[in-house]
Amino acid sequence: MSAATSRSLPPHGPPTSPEARAAGEAFAGAADILRAWARGLAPDPLLAVSAWADRHRMLAARASAEPGRYRTARTPYMREIMDRLGPHDPVQRVVFMKAAQVGATEAGNNWIGYVIHQAPGPMLAVQPTVELAKRHSRQRIDPLIAESPALRERVKPARSRDAGNTMLSKEFAGGILIMTGANSAVGLRSMPARYIFLDEIDAYPASADEEGDPVSLAEARSLTFAHRRKVLLVSTPTIRGVSRIEREFEASDQRRYFVPCPHCGAMQWLKFERLRWHKGQPETAEYVCEGCEAPIAEHHKTAMLEAGEWRATATAADPATTGYHLSALYSPVGWLSWARIARSWEAAQGSDEAIKVFRNTVLGETWVESGEAPDWQRLYDRRESWPAGTVPAGGLFLTAGSDVQKDRIEVDVWAWGRGLESWLVDHIVIEGGPDRQEAWERLSALLDRPWPHEHGAQLRIARLAIDTGYEAPAVYAWARSVGFAQVAAVKGVEGFNRSSPVSGPTYVDATENGRRLRRGARLWTVAVSSFKAETYRFLRLARPTAEERAAGAGFPPGTIHLPDWIESEWLRQLTAEQLVTVRNRRGFARLEWQKLRERNEALDCRVYARAAAWIAGADRWGEARWRDLEGQVGSLDRCAPVAPETAGSHHGTPGIASAGLVRRAPARRGRRVITPSYLV
């Protein structure tokens, strides 16, 4: 090209027509569209479960104490557990034995959301009962979907036609979430499932509709998915030897969360015995490092948790299973503090049931039930002296347990005091079985009979619990005739009930067409295993020596006092059973009470009398209630000083009248106007 020609061209190249420029712009726009279309066709990047939760999970105010965006950094110990549940991790089964309120349920919900959004497939989520599954769906799963846009667009609202979204079923592209209870065999075998979330497995029944272990039934749904399956088993543990989650954890690699000491850097997992505080001052609680023995203040916990890591402490029986254990000592700052843990431990002292709950829900550990029968001869040798039919000084109210036999009705009357200390007041055998009207009349007379108290008051039975295991219709008829204010018909069931040893009442009378009568007989269900174990623990309590008692030492809470007028046969009946571990054909263990001898009426009557005390409310009474009782029997001058927080007025504390144990009697000269139903 000549110089003249070059000088004649525009400085930026040859001229272009408007048409060419428009065509170029159209081509560039089409390329942008193609690139955007290709990006839209590409699958979302495969996130770890924890990363998905941080990006997409929103916590609703109605379902969380800390609403807003979910942050794994708040509970960093949950990161590895959640990430093990992703499809990229080779682990197939994740076991998590934990304390209450450490974020496990929300982590499980994160996994549900992740499956719906990132790795769709059939999923089964199991709660202990169908009713709990419905509640979990309403309170946790519905907010999970509603508050997360990524899930909201994948699960149609329940009100839309053919949505596939019901209380216990959520359909989404590529999969379905089925929620059910461990008590429903139909729900457990409803479909094959690649993902299985088993929550609170220690609360599952022993068998689902008599078809077998619920955990085994549920896991069988995933076998067709081979190595691609994922199973999450979560629970707070219960009793050593029968706890499902403990059995699963001990078969795993038993991972513990190790955190560094802020002073020396030593890595360690937190143990309750290294939490120290001044007695009576739980607010001084600090953790003592096992490396340098320096106290660690709780404000260091956030940094310790961030720098922590899970470490295996055992070799797993199945390499595809990983197990984790976590106590409430790791609870993030602002949740359960070390000071509150110390305060809970101090408050639990003196009550085996309270200590059991503490070990289960705070430490995430099992409770060891000691079911070895006490030596009856030792009990015989340490009997105490007080007249038959007389209530000793510490007794504040009476309950009775009644066992119905073919030819007799046996009744034991027990007095109860502070800390559930108890005294056997009377042992009565009514000749004649349930077919004899005079036997029922003699039993009715006991309800109005007064028992003299050492301080001069006259006590009547506050509540009589009678077993319905033999001739239940006759027992119901008698209970209905005398009224249910003073009598509780009970049914004993084996097993340990973690939530409550007594449940009910339920209405058991039915009309000819099978409908329940609203005002029919009422039945209380008693977990007799719990009260039998408690009785044996109380019988084994160490007692103060004569010198210690002379110096002012008292008996431990729960102490059982037995009189010298009771015979050896009765003591043999009281110690007639022992707790043994029984394994079924599949190797699963359960605790079972077995008789050492045929007759055990004394133990049964004790259990029913203890259940009557529970029904009366003794396990839940506060200081004001006990002081009121002491005042009425005339032993107020013998009780310990009132704590500052309970001294003075009883304002705000329900009195005995509000418990249904007091009736108002007409004013009479020389008598009180308010008289408890068990005080004459």
pLDDT at position 136 is: 92
pLDDT at position 498 is: 54
Task: Please determine, for residue 375, whether its predicted confidence score (pLDDT) is greater than 80.
Answer: yes
pLDDT at position 7 is: 45
Task: Please determine, for residue 667, whether its predicted confidence score (pLDDT) is greater than 60.
Answer: no
3-state secondary structure string across 550-567: HCCCCCCCCCEECECCCC
Mean pLDDT for 425-431 is 95
Question: 632-654: per-residue pLDDT in tens?
Answer: 887 654 433 333 233 333 323 23
CA 441 to chain centre: 42
Highest mean pLDDT among 30-34, 262-266, 657-661: 262-266
Task: Please determine, for residue 550, whether its predicted confidence score (pLDDT) is greater than 50.
Answer: yes
Question: 330-368: per-residue pLDDT in tens?
Answer: 999 989 999 999 999 999 887 777 888 899 999 999 887
pLDDT at position 574 is: 94
Question: 161-207: per-residue pLDDT in tens?
Answer: 555 688 899 999 899 999 999 988 888 877 899 999 999 999 888 77
pLDDT at position 646 is: 30
pLDDT at position 516 is: 60
Question: 123-162: per-residue pLDDT in tens?
Answer: 999 999 999 999 999 999 999 998 889 898 888 776 655 5
Instruction: Give CA separation, 455 vs 19, 200, 393, 397, 421, in Å.
Output: 115, 50, 7, 13, 18
Q: Where are the alpha helices (DSSP H) in 297-351?
A: 301-306, 338-348
Q: Bridge-partner residues for 233, per DSSP?
A: 95, 198
pLDDT at position 656 is: 30
Strand order in the sheet with 461-467: 502-507, 522-527, 487-493, 461-467, 397-404, 408-416, 422-431, 560-561
pLDDT at position 20 is: 66
Q: Where are the alpha helices (DSSP H) in 371-521?
A: 376-381, 437-448, 472-482
Lowest mean pLDDT among 56-60, 63-67, 164-168, 364-368: 63-67
Q: What pTM did the predictor assign?
A: 0.63
User: Rounded to the nearest 5 degrees, what angle is found at the Cα of 86, between the Cα atoms of 82 and 88?
Assistant: 135
User: Rounded to the nearest 5 degrees, what angle is found at the Cα of 429, between the Cα atoms of 425 and 434?
Assistant: 130
The fraction of the chain above a pLDDT of 90, given in percent, is: 52
Task: Please determine, for residue 379, whether its predicted confidence score (pLDDT) is greater than 80.
Answer: yes
pLDDT at position 380 is: 92
Q: CB under 8 Å, gap of 24 or more: what pairs does 383-387 form?
A: 383/562, 383/563, 383/564, 383/566, 384/561, 384/562, 384/563, 384/564, 385/563, 385/564, 386/423, 386/454, 386/563, 387/565
pLDDT at position 433 is: 84
Domain ranges of the chain: 50-254+317-326, 258-313+338-365, 382-566+601-664
3-state secondary structure string across 216-275: HHHHHCCHHHHHHCEEEEEECCCECCCCHHHHHHHCCCCEEEEEECCCCCCEEECCHHHE
Q: Which residue has the tokens 């340990």?
A: 496
φ, ψ at 284 (rounded to 5°): -90, 10
Residues 6 or more apart whose CB falls under 8 angstroms from that of 498 comprise: 202, 203, 238, 360
Instruction: Give CA separation, 292 vs 260, 287, 289, 306, 614, in Å.
Output: 12, 12, 6, 21, 47
**Superfamily (CATH) of domain 50-254+317-326:** P-loop containing nucleotide triphosphate hydrolases (3.40.50.300)
pLDDT at position 352 is: 72
Question: 201-227: per-residue pLDDT in tens?
Answer: 998 887 777 777 889 899 998 888 888
pLDDT at position 60 is: 80
Task: Please determine, for residue 520, whether its predicted confidence score (pLDDT) is greater than 80.
Answer: no
Report the chain's terminal Cα–Cα distance, integer Å. 129
Q: Residue 79: name the closest of 124, 47, 37, 36 by CA.
A: 47
What pLDDT band is residue 464 in, cutting at 50, 70 and 90? very high
Mean pLDDT for 312-341 is 94
Mean pLDDT for 461-470 is 94
Distance CA 678, CA 661 (A): 8
Across the chain, mean pLDDT equals: 83
Length of the chain: 680
